[in-house]
Amino acid sequence: ESGEGSIVCISSIVSSYNIIEAPLAYSVAKGMLNRYVNGLTPYLSKKGIRINIISPGNVLFSKSIWEKKLKADKNKTLKYIKNKVPLNKFAEIDDISSMVIYLASDKAKFITGSEFIIDGGQTKL
């Protein structure tokens, strides 16, 4: 039986880009998630279900690794962001959730099997 629906998976830029500071196991797990979504796309499409991936970069939120790094060494952390992220800032939860809402909506009814990178340009360096 077919239906209509949308699945939005949260991955990471480390799934496809070599970010040396990222834990290897995390990078591998996110890479496998991306591959899984790619494999599911044709199957789910036949059932009327869209599936997409959002791959954020450095997201700052309460109790995140970035909050911990800022508390441990604010200057070092901000220097890293300045050197690695062209927009020179962290992503915020709203940056990610806005894309989730869009992809889950009917406005994205012809989008499936796609990855959306939200990283302030970090993967373009």
Question: Catalytic residue positions?
Answer: 26
Per residue, the 3-state secondary structure of the chain, as one string, reads: CCCCEEEEEECCHHHCCCCCCCCHHHHHHHHHHHHHHHHHHHHHHCCCEEEEEEEECCECCCCCHHHHHHHHCHHHHHHHHHHHCCCCCCECHHHHHHHHHHHHCHHHCCCCCCEEEECCCHHHC
Look up residue 20 and give its two tokens.
């040396």
